[in-house]
């Protein structure tokens, strides 16, 4: 088990507990699951709630843009707060977002693959392959651009009902991607998120302003 030093604690803490303490600092983000007790990892369990994956399946595998954007905005805010607090979640995906089906409120969960956010590149892979970009090409990645890509995959699945395929990424690269039934704004955001060159991806803050 990996341990990290966290301010306010005299001894190193298990990595997941330390990251949750970091992201639960004031001002707290309602989009991130709250750690209630780190000694035995007690976390809140919102009720009612279900994984976003289950919610998506229940709605035929695809969501309308308005619903998808409401969820996407909360997921983006959660990851933005994580980065501000120095935490890299590293496993943003449908299964790691709890959703209240009545209010569509989102909670980011499961920091078990996470790490401290660094300016230097990461060379160790943890997470879910389908949501991860350049590691398999260059064997390294940076936290914030990798997070943006994962959010892009998340949005793509919600509005298209599938993972992005190589032909999708090729047309995105040439700025000609579109999907029947999606607005121009939605297509533009997806293209801004899923740029194969990390330096060309939209910034986390700018996603919220899109």
Predicted local confidence at residue 132, as pLDDT = 85
Predicted local confidence at residue 10, as pLDDT = 53
Kindly list the domain boundaries of the chain, sorted by start residue. Answer: 47-209
Residue carrying the six token digits 């979640």:
89
Among 37, 54, 64, 91, the active-site one is 91
Q: Can you read off the two tokens belonging to residue 65?
A: 């843009």
**CATH level 2 (architecture), domain 47-209:** Orthogonal Bundle (1.10)
Predicted local confidence at residue 33, as pLDDT = 85
Q: Which residues does 51 contact at the CB level (< 8 Å), separation at least 6?
A: 94, 95, 97, 98, 99
CB 117 within 8 A of CB 19: no
Predicted local confidence at residue 28, as pLDDT = 80
Predicted local confidence at residue 16, as pLDDT = 81
Tell me whether residue 37 is one of the annotated catalytic residues: no
Residues in the chain with pLDDT < 70?
1-13, 38-45
Q: Can you read off the two tokens belonging to residue 209?
A: 């302003």
């Amino acid at each position: 088990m990996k341990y990290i030093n966290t301010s306010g604690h005299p001894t190193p803490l298990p990595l997941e507990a330390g990251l949750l303490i970091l992201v639960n600092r004031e001002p707290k983000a309602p989009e991130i699951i709250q750690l209630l007790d780190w000694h035995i990892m007690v976390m809140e369990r919102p009720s009612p709630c279900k994984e976003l994956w289950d919610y998506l399946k229940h709605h035929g595998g695809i969501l309308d843009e308005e619903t998808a954007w409401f969820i996407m905005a909360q997921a983006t805010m959660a990851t933005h707060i994580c980065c501000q607090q120095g935490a890299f979640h590293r496993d943003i995906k449908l299964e790691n977002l709890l959703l209240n089906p009545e209010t569509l409120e989102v909670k980011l969960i499961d920091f078990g693959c996470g790490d401290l956010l660094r300016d230097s590149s990461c060379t160790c892979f943890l997470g879910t392959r389908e949501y991860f970009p350049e590691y398999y090409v260059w064997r390294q990645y940076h936290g914030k651009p990798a997070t943006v890509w994962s959010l892009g995959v998340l949005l793509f699945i919600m509005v298209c009902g599938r993972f992005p395929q190589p032909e999708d990424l090729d047309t995105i690269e040439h700025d000609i991607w579109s999907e029947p039934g999606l607005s121009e704004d939605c297509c533009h955001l997806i293209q801004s998120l899923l740029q194969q060159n990390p330096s060309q991806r939209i910034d986390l803050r700018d996603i919220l302003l899109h």
